[in-house]
Structure 1
Amino acid sequence: MLTSTARSVPRKPSATERSQLPLAPPEFWQDIHPAGTFDPVPADGFRDLYPSALPDGRQVALPIRILPGGKQAVASLIVNQASFVVEDSLAEAMADLARPFDADIIIGIPTLGLPLANGVARRLGHRRMVPLGTSRKFWYRDELSEPLSSITSPDHAKRVFLDPRLLPLLENRRVIVVDDVISSGASMTAVLRLLGRIGIKPVAAVFAMTQGERWRDALADLDRTLPTLVFSAIASPIFAVTPEGLWRPELSVQDI
């Protein structure tokens, strides 16, 4: 008697199903997935996973985090929880974006921008990078600091500092600022104001991820040319909740 093996062959998930493949929390940021693993534009919206694409099309699975109020959400990237494969892939893409600017020094933004700044600087053949800090040392000076906040840490208790001993490394140099994510632009404008105190305007700002587009206005208010200097390895939107409780990219007030 002939028997069929059809039932033993796993059915390939549809494009919509691929966008919702479940991942346990520790699985996010751990793998670089082949292009097309996840549907980048599911018809009904995203549930708890957003696939962001590297320049070569490979995908990074990011968890969707609901913002206070419950109507909006962001795709989250936490570099110090990522695998080395993901961190290295992001740093490689960022170094490719930074290379044409022929920078003399890379400036790393704390906290999660520091490992990426190391990776970018190494790939560009630099001996070191210059880290900013949020932990004040007794020899730091108030005039070399700025209040710091972000979309995930909105309080203004923190400050970003430049160690005065590092000033000679920056004077009259072409610098690139490296950080993990830009979203509201609040953290980056603080950094740019701090650098402006010593007469430095970066030739570029390179991020692992741009999160939405709100940062553009914040940077343009400081200098209308600054948004054109921003580059990122991956990008993600700000999400608005749908009537079904899913998430789709926020386009207008009517979409919220």
Structure 2
Amino acid sequence: MRRPGPSAPHIPSASERSIVPLAPHQFWQTVYPEGTFETQPADGFSDLYPASLPDGRQIALPIRILPGDGTSAVASMIVNQASFTVEDALSDAMAVHARAYDPEVVIGVPTLGLPLANGVARRLGHSRMVALGTSRKFWYSEDLSEPMSSITSPDHAKRLYLDPRMLPLLEGKRVLVVDDVISSGTSMLAVLKLLEKAGIEPVAAVFAMLQGDNWRQAIGEHDAPLVSRIHGAIVSPRLRLGDDGDWWPSAS
């Protein structure tokens, strides 16, 4: 008698979410079919936000409360904790946006933007990408550096460096910037200022996730035309705590 094979992993439907919550290590591991989770639930969001890829498939993102009074939160994406399936799905969608600009070189922003830059560059048929760094090598120059912080590490500013040996690869080329998330725009501003010191103006920037809209003003004040050339594989809103204890999309 033929023995049955192992059953497929159970995918909780939107109606089952309150019964089958995801454990912390289960986030970012699965690309769910379209419609698995409600994108506009009547009772708000509790522990996760379902972000949709361009084809409708969904990635479950954990909701992280921001430092402060506990009333603001974001949907978090940490690429180096994601499954290869999720990373590939994000890179595929990012590469579609990138192709529209016909970039000749992809620049990766550390740390979490580097695997995505690798994936996007490969999908574009490039033989390599150029990685910015936060660890100063002895041959680096402070003239090609810029202080950088982020919404997830506001109190841990670091310096962003461009290896001077990489300049011949970038000068006069159509350069695309790739990173994991843009939220406040602070990290991207550091990238733009660093590239500006090297005489480089990127043709576009592509992210795994656009988080809220605060970044639009920050980038717009530095380079207004670039705002329309910033794209994301997925989009998530800033979240505010409602009187019901659930999280709701915020206008800011």
Match of 1:22 in 2: 21
Cα deviation, residue 16, structure 1:
5.4
Q: Is the 8 A contact 2:50 2:61 kept in 1?
A: yes
SS in 2 for 1:239: strand
Match of 2:193 in 1: 193
Q: Is the 8 A contact 1:20 1:46 kept in 2?
A: no
The runs of 5 or more residues in structure 2 that have no matched partner are: 1-11
Q: Is the 8 A contact 2:181 2:208 kept in 1?
A: yes
Looking at structure 2, the residues matched to 234 and 100 of structure 1 have their Cα atoms a distance apart, in angstroms, of 17
Looking at structure 2, the residues matched to 208 and 14 of structure 1 have their Cα atoms a distance apart, in angstroms, of 24
Map 1:107-256 onto structure 2 (within 5 A). Answer: 107-155=107-155, 157-251=157-251
SS in 2 for 1:173: coil
Per-residue CA distance 1:164-189 (angstroms, 9 max, x = gap): 00000000000000000000000000
Partner amino acid for 2:62? P
SS in 1 for 2:100: helix
Identity over aligned pairs, percent:
67
Are residue 47 (structure 1) and residue 14 (structure 2) matched? Answer: no
User: Which stretches of structure 1, 4 residues or more, deviate above 4 A after TM superposition?
Assistant: 13-21
CA RMSD, 1 decimal:
1.6
Cα deviation, residue 77, structure 1:
0.3
The runs of 5 or more residues in structure 1 that have no matched partner are: 1-12
The higher radius of gyration belongs to: 1
Cα deviation, residue 100, structure 1:
1.5
Q: Is the 8 A contact 1:52 1:235 kept in 2?
A: yes
Cα pair distance change 1:157/1:14, threshold 3 Å? closer
Looking at structure 2, the residues matched to 14 and 31 of structure 1 have their Cα atoms a distance apart, in angstroms, of 13
The alignment covers a number of residue pairs equal to 241
Looking at structure 1, the residues matched to 93 and 18 of structure 2 have their Cα atoms a distance apart, in angstroms, of 24
Match of 1:7 in 2: none
Q: Is the 8 A contact 1:107 1:178 kept in 2?
A: yes
Partner amino acid for 1:65? R
Looking at structure 1, the residues matched to 129 and 13 of structure 2 have their Cα atoms a distance apart, in angstroms, of 45
Looking at structure 2, the residues matched to 14 and 90 of structure 1 have their Cα atoms a distance apart, in angstroms, of 22
Q: Is the 8 A contact 2:79 2:180 kept in 1?
A: yes
Looking at structure 2, the residues matched to 60 and 157 of structure 1 have their Cα atoms a distance apart, in angstroms, of 30
Partner amino acid for 1:58? R
Map 1:48-63 onto structure 2 (within 5 A). Answer: 48-63=47-62
SS in 2 for 1:22: coil
Q: Is the 8 A contact 1:144 1:164 kept in 2?
A: yes
Looking at structure 2, the residues matched to 175 and 216 of structure 1 have their Cα atoms a distance apart, in angstroms, of 20
SS in 2 for 1:223: helix
Map 1:63-142 onto structure 2 (within 5 A). Answer: 63-69=62-68, 70-142=70-142
Per-residue CA distance 1:77-124 (angstroms, 9 max, x = gap): 000000000000100110111011111000000000000000000000
